[in-house]
Amino acid sequence: MIAIPYESERTVPPSIYEYKGQSLYLEWVDNYVVVDIETTGYALHHDEITELAAVKVENGKIVTEFQSLVKPSFPISEGITRLTGITNNMLARAPSISKILPRFLAFVWSDIVVAHNANFDINFINAACIANNVGFALDNDFIDTMMLSRHLFPTEYSHKLKYLVKRFGIASEVKHRGLSDAKNTHKCYEYMKQYAANNPKIIGSYSPHNVLKAKAKVSNNNYFNETTPVFGKTFAFTGGLERMSRKDAEQLVIDMGGICGSGVTVKTNYLVLGDNNDDPRIKDKDGKSAKLKKAERYKESGRDIEIISEDDFYKMVLEDEKAG
């Protein structure tokens, strides 16, 4: 756990990304903490946490657990209630995020974090840490079970938790509640750990692949590293990027064996949100682009699409380079 300097001690505002740990892609551990959250929605800068949950694992077995609802600053939608079963009446009696976060962070402490779609959970947690001046952030290294599933089972239709628990014979459905999802994620991680041990050739494989095309762009690469989270996935971008042009970002994806689409479709795996909110393509009064709203609808309907930040996109690129 890392301490965050208070605002009076800083010269620039903190970023949720400067405290983030490293993704331990394709690594297997026996001692860790599984983390899961529920939120009012999927947009980091618009939505808030409504539930924090975690289970501590030693030698592959759950030894203790943590769970608490969290009262947001605005009512949740009927869609979120249908998805999670959490109601505004339940949240009205819940503690505030500033009161519960220190307890949650103390429970997680310095353990490796395991989570399904880990960037989502960690980004929301650290945004809450900074916004509420709790003094600490979640800088733990982490393992993403969604990325593991995509690598181990690349031909499957979806890698959402609700599909994993069915395929692995863990449960018939998920409840979309923090503690239940954390326990199911633990079971999925242990299943995939055993699967990888029984199929060692799956890890670290390299093979030639046909050149991929997207939007009239091609790659000059004849070989792609198929073990990375970028390979074979379809990306779309919305908003202005701070560190490079969108054209260059799309070419990066293609050079790494990914695919770029001009819009969000049922085949899109990642929508990258540009950090530049002044981009003229974001026109709605709520600050959300049409692509973001479409991606949120797809995500709520169960499609295999994730909404990630520009910074998380660059982390994926760096992971690809390290793996290669």
- The verdict on whether 46 is a catalytic residue reads no
Tokens of 58: 């030693």
Amino acid code (one letter) for 75: P
Say if residue 312 is exposed, middle or buried (CB neighbours under 10 Å; 0-12, 13-18, 19+): buried
CB 323, CB 25: distance < 8 Å: yes
Between CA 141 and CA 114 the distance in angstroms is 9
- The residue behind tokens 């908003």 is 239
3-state class (DSSP) for residue 269: coil
The catalytic residue among 151, 159, 176, 186 is 176
Could you give the maximum distance between any two Cα atoms of the chain, in Å?
A: 58
Beta strands in 23-108 (DSSP E): 32-39, 49-58, 61-69
Say if residue 207 is exposed, middle or buried (CB neighbours under 10 Å; 0-12, 13-18, 19+): exposed
Between CA 175 and CA 164 the distance in angstroms is 13
Comparing C-alpha atoms, which of 74, 131, 81 is closest to residue 101? 131
CB 191, CB 170: distance < 8 Å: yes
Interacting residues of 99 by C-beta distance below 8 A, sequence separation 6+: none
- The residue behind tokens 């220190």 is 102
Amino acid code (one letter) for 179: L
Report, as residue numbers or ranges, the catalytic residues: 176
